[in-house]
Amino acid sequence: KANRTFHPENTVIRAGSETIGGNQLAIIAGPCSVESQEQIVGIAQEVKAAGAGFLRGGAFKPRSSPYSFQGMQQEGLELLKLAREATGLPIVTEIMSVKQLEDHHEDIDVIQIGARNMQNFDLLKAAGQIEKPILLKRGLSATIEELLMSAEYIMAGGNENVVLCERGIRTFETYTRNTLDLSAVLAIKRLSHLPVIVDPSHAAGLWWMVESLSKAAVAVGADGVIIEVHQDPSNAKCDGQQSIKPERFTALMQSLRAIAHIE
Ligand code: PEP
Ligand code: MN
C-alpha cells in the first residue's frame, strides 16, 4: 500500500486545517517535552507567529534512562490541548503503547510513533485501526525498507494516513547524536507516495546545525520538518542541547521561505 508502483500520485495528509505532503511545506515545531502551561502555550504562540503549521510536544516520553524525566503524561496532553485552543495549531505528540493510543487518540491531531517503537508491531497494528494521521519515525538502526514495512503494517489495517520521518540513524560517528540520512528522503520519495519529513533536531543533536540541515532537507525534497524549540534551552527538561530559541526559529522560517512554499 505504501508502494509508489501501485499509487503513482503523492499522498496528501490532512490534519485539522493543515496538510502534510502536496506542494506546501509542513512545519512542525515545539519543545521536546511539555513542561508547564506557560511553557507550552508560550512556545505555541511564538512558533505560530513565525509561521509553523503544527505544534509538537511530548507528554509521554521514551527516555533512555528510567531516572530521566518521563514527561507530564496525561497532564501534558491536557496542556497541549490548551495550547491548541489558544493558537489553533494541530498537535503532534508521541504515544508509546496500545493502551495510550486507545485512551488518547481522539485528543491528538497527529500521533507520533517514535524511533524506539518503529517495530512495535502491536502498536503499529493498533495505529492501523484508527483514522488519525500517524507520524512514523525511522528506527535508530532501521533500514529504509524496514521503515516502509512498518508503514505497511499501519496501512494494512486500513489507516493510510502515514507520514514518514527521517530523524538520523546510528552510525560510528559520535560528533552528532545521529547521522542524518538525507538520501533516505530521496529513496523513500522514489519508493513510496507517502509524505516524508525530516527531524534535524534529533538527527544532529546540536542546536547550531538545525537551520542548515532544515534547508538541506527542503533542498532534497522533504515535505516538511519537525523542529525542537524551547524558550530556555539550557534549562529544558529534555533535549535542550538540540533545541533552538523562538527568535532563531523565526529566522529559520524566513530562510526556509526563501526556498520553499510555506503559508
Ligand atoms: C522526539 O520526537 O522527541 C523523540 C523522542 O524522537 P525519536 O523517537 O526520533 O528519538
Ligand atoms: Mn526530543
Whether 263 shows a pLDDT value over 80: the answer reads no
Range from 57-61, 155-159, 258-262 carrying the lowest mean pLDDT: 258-262
**What's the CA-to-centroid distance between 58 and ligand 2, angstroms?**
8
Relative to the alpha carbon of 243, which ligand is closest?
Answer: 2
Tell me the per-residue pLDDT of 86-103, one tens digit each, with 9 for 90 and over: 999 999 999 999 999 999
Q: In this prediction, what percent of the chain has a pLDDT beyond 70?
A: 100
pLDDT of residue 25: 97
**What's the CA-to-centroid distance between 51 and ligand 1, angstroms?**
22
Question: Looking at residue 59, which CATH number applies to its domain?
Answer: 3.20.20.70
Instruction: Report the greatest alpha carbon distance in the chain.
Output: 48
Q: Rounded to an integer, what distance in angstroms lies between the CA atom of residue 191 and that of residue 6?
A: 10
Total domains, the chain = 1
What is the domain range of residue 28?
A: 4-259
pLDDT of residue 260: 86
**Which ligand 1 atom minimizes the distance to the CA of 116?**
8
Relative to the alpha carbon of 197, which ligand is closest?
Answer: 1
**What's the CA-to-centroid distance between 113 and ligand 1, angstroms?**
9
Tell me the per-residue pLDDT of 99-148, one tens digit each, with 9 for 90 and over: 999 999 999 999 999 999 999 999 999 999 999 999 999 999 999 999 99
28, 65, 91, 116, best to mutate for ligand 1 pocket (most atoms within 8 Å of CB): 116
Strands 196-198 and 224-228: parallel
Q: What is the pTM of this model?
A: 0.97
- Torsion angle, alpha carbons of 65, 208, 35, 136, to 10: -70
ipTM of the complex: 0.99
pLDDT of residue 16: 86
Amino acid letter at 2? A
Strands (E), the chain: 13-15, 18-20, 26-30, 54-56, 91-94, 110-113, 134-137, 162-166, 196-198, 224-228
